[in-house]
Structure 1
């Protein structure tokens, strides 16, 4: 056994006992016991001084971890997710100095030791689904506990400081029943944090200190049904915010200093509280304005927003019903040899049941989406501009996709530098092979060639931006959702790198979304 480096017993569902580790096993670096029926780990595990990865995922009978595990000075990855009977972890966990990734998702842990939050080298922490025995008895039993504190729920525990987790790059707290005040105000001290998932929680607002997360790239707030407003966002070079199905969301953040941004994507699918909110409409265009005003050395690559809407704003001077729009260039104007900064596109799409001939794509899930293509002059080659996708059936009504790309920041293979007088943008819907009954359809689209002057035009305080069609009795409006009905309903309830590719090529590498 002295030369054994990897021991994998995954899925041995009848394995209930692991013999003690004896002798010299310093070469063993990977031990996988996931899916077994073991109830405990022998304390002799401390003999595995070279162990780097320990996988105990879905050991449903596992009751505890031995304190000897803290002697594993080389351990970098520890996974106990799905160990539904595991209620505690060792108090001196911080002694595992090399630990970089810890997954406690789906465990029965009520209190985490304070040492968990003093793990200076921890980079990834998963606590998803740690809800506790009852929301009435534990607000944040998932153990964000360094000190005992009071929240708006007197039975709740909150974390009062995160100062020591300065290497943490990913934090997943989805479906943890986090209530208002459960997230500490100093979350902004996580200077290395890039990916923050708060999906499916119960808070109404977020700490304002989130704006100081200077490396944050992904913020997932999906299905936070009580969330009413977003704080100001960090001024980072790349930022994706997903707020789909936040049905109480009615206030958007003030635009960050997005002149620095190279990538910005904000999704608010089914957030109907935003419908008719003129302040939110203007906020969207205020973000666009700052993008247009972007100056060197930062190069604007992509700006995307998806929100409920059924109307192409008049600012888009080329508008059409259907899925494509043609732009004719003025005389002596060329995209890369003039004062043109880029182009802004807008498309209205809606759900569609049982499409007659859906375009199929090789996405690995039941999904549907939209691809945006461009074609210059008489060229037969289409350039994939951007793409978005959703779970089939997720989109419930008319939505608007607003995107902006700069000519200088996005010009693969000198695509825009040829001689042409017009170009066409088209939007094509698709669905995965596993889901062909629910898809999307394009209703209308618009485009505007953006100049430096447009930034000033967007700043006109007297111009009203309307994203939703006024309610009337026409048949077309019946497909939209009445703001009256939306308000009544919810009051009662309480990325990708682009490339020149054929239109049929999969978007697996082209779409950027978690």
Structure 2
């Protein structure tokens, strides 16, 4: 622990044309993720003369040229100047187009693109400002679609018809983030192949349909759905493949039961001020990050809450009203308890030999520290605005 600093820490798929959707949070990044990207990762397609077209530069959509025998299968487009092109001329001969991304889309409907063989399109992404979009009935024709993303326009308030998703049963990723959508239609419940559901910053969304049948679901991202008060399921135990739960800055009162979810990695409940308690993590053996910071109604965490959470690396309980921290089975790297003004006791931390940061700033009731001499990797110990600030000590 010789390198310690008493300082304030910083805040913190299948087939020939596979699609990779990078999810920053699933990789341990709890900040705002990239909006998404497409990537063909099977390079053997080059032998067949099929090409993935890279991001179009210079803010312009450039008409493709070169070997006319090449088959374009993936096409990202900067849509800022899309209106300069004649859509049926540009898209009409793209017979094998699979993924299509338009950023931002200056369209009232995707049908304006005049895409031939639209039923073969695997991915449709229109994001960062879909403010002109008035209808998305093209989805009825996209029978092979696996990824649908229409995001980034809070003014998009289309009421989707009840049968909207009936024609896209293979959908694996659905993202309506940053839109004014208020609810998902009844046909949503038939998307049993869904892996990723992202409705970030849908501030008008008040509830979700039931998710119990979504056995392949890996990511649920409802960050800043500020009108969301209730999750219909009492338990997520049927979602065995679930890896990421992000309900940060929602108004949920309870988190569904998550114990036994062996694939769960991230549970993000930051700013959930209506949340009154934390579910047991027993047998959630692979969880790496738990963030309850700003959950100001949490007053107690059960003594055995973290029992079996052996992989836990980051624990943030800042601004909660807990009086003591129960023992943690994992080997933590970051422990943040900033402004836990009622916190009086810390457990034995000697087993957490990977600890690099402990933030106790603003813990005004804390009078003693446990033995920290075994924490040789500890770099930051923040005791500002505590009774301990003037009497920090440790064994050499």
TM category (shorter chain) comes to: 0.5 to 0.7
1:241 aligns with 2:315: yes
Q: Distance in 2 between matches of 1:204 and 1:16?
A: 40
**Deviation (angstroms), 1:129:** 2.2
Q: Distance in 2 between matches of 1:25 and 1:92?
A: 21
Q: Give a deviation string over 1:83-136, Cα, whole Å, max 9, x none.
A: 12x11212232432332111122222223222x33211110001222233xxxx
TM-score (norm 2): 0.63
Q: Which residue of 2 aligns with 1:368?
A: none
Q: 1:386 to 1:313 in 2, by over 3 A?
A: closer
**Deviation (angstroms), 1:312:** 8.0
SS of alignment partner, residue 281 of structure 2:
helix
Q: Is the 8 A contact 1:195 1:218 kept in 2?
A: yes
Q: 1:196 to 1:75 in 2, by over 3 A?
A: same
SS of alignment partner, residue 199 of structure 1:
coil
TM-score (norm 1): 0.50
1:270 aligns with 2:339: yes
Q: 1:61 to 1:304 in 2, by over 3 A?
A: closer
Q: 1:4 to 1:189 in 2, by over 3 A?
A: same
Q: Is the 8 A contact 2:243 2:265 kept in 1?
A: yes
Q: Which residue of 2 aligns with 1:397?
A: 385
Q: Which residue of 2 aligns with 1:50?
A: 144
Q: Which residue of 2 aligns with 1:214?
A: 285
Q: 1:314 to 1:89 in 2, by over 3 A?
A: closer
Q: Give a deviation string over 1:273-318, Cα, whole Å, max 9, x none.
A: 11xx2xx1xx42x243xx18xxxxxxx54475432469885967xx
Q: 1:399 to 1:213 in 2, by over 3 A?
A: farther
**Deviation (angstroms), 1:444:** 7.3
Q: Distance in 2 between matches of 1:445 and 1:161?
A: 44
**Deviation (angstroms), 1:7:** 2.2
**Deviation (angstroms), 1:222:** 0.8
**Deviation (angstroms), 1:386:** 5.2
Q: How many matched pairs?
A: 291
Q: Which residue of 2 aligns with 1:502?
A: none
Q: In the alignment, which of 99, 106, 109 is matched to residue 17 of structure 1?
A: 109
1:83 aligns with 2:83: no
Q: In the alignment, which of 112, 117, 124 is matched to residue 31 of structure 1?
A: 124
Q: 1:209 to 1:237 in 2, by over 3 A?
A: closer
Q: Is the 8 A contact 2:165 2:187 kept in 1?
A: no
Q: Which residue of 2 aligns with 1:484?
A: none
Q: Distance in 2 between matches of 1:201 and 1:207?
A: 11
Q: Distance in 2 between matches of 1:163 and 1:52?
A: 25
Q: Give a deviation string over 1:324-365, Cα, whole Å, max 9, x none.
A: xxxxxxxxxxxxxxxxxx8336xxxxxxxxxxxxxxxxxxxx
Q: Distance in 1 between matches of 2:387 and 2:265?
A: 28
Which structure shows the bigger proportion of residues in helix conformation? 1
Q: Distance in 2 between matches of 1:46 and 1:386?
A: 56
Q: 1:24 to 1:214 in 2, by over 3 A?
A: same
Q: In the alignment, which of 129, 135, 140 is matched to residue 40 of structure 1?
A: 135
Q: 1:313 to 1:191 in 2, by over 3 A?
A: closer
Q: Which residue of 1 aligns with 2:96?
A: 3
Q: Is the 8 A contact 2:265 2:286 kept in 1?
A: yes
Q: 1:7 to 1:62 in 2, by over 3 A?
A: farther
Q: Which residue of 1 aligns with 2:359?
A: 306
Q: Is the 8 A contact 1:122 1:165 kept in 2?
A: yes
Q: Is the 8 A contact 1:238 1:264 kept in 2?
A: no
1:144 aligns with 2:175: no
Q: Which residue of 1 aligns with 2:19?
A: none
Q: Which residue of 2 aligns with 1:169?
A: 243
Q: Is the 8 A contact 1:40 1:62 kept in 2?
A: no
State the structure with more CA Rg.
1
Q: 1:38 to 1:287 in 2, by over 3 A?
A: same
Q: Distance in 1 between matches of 2:121 and 2:371?
A: 64
Q: Distance in 2 between matches of 1:206 and 1:314?
A: 26
**Deviation (angstroms), 1:448:** 2.9
Where structure 1 has 5 or more consecutive residues not aligned to the other structure, the ranges are 133-139, 146-158, 293-299, 317-341, 346-384, 401-441, 450-514
**Deviation (angstroms), 1:169:** 0.8
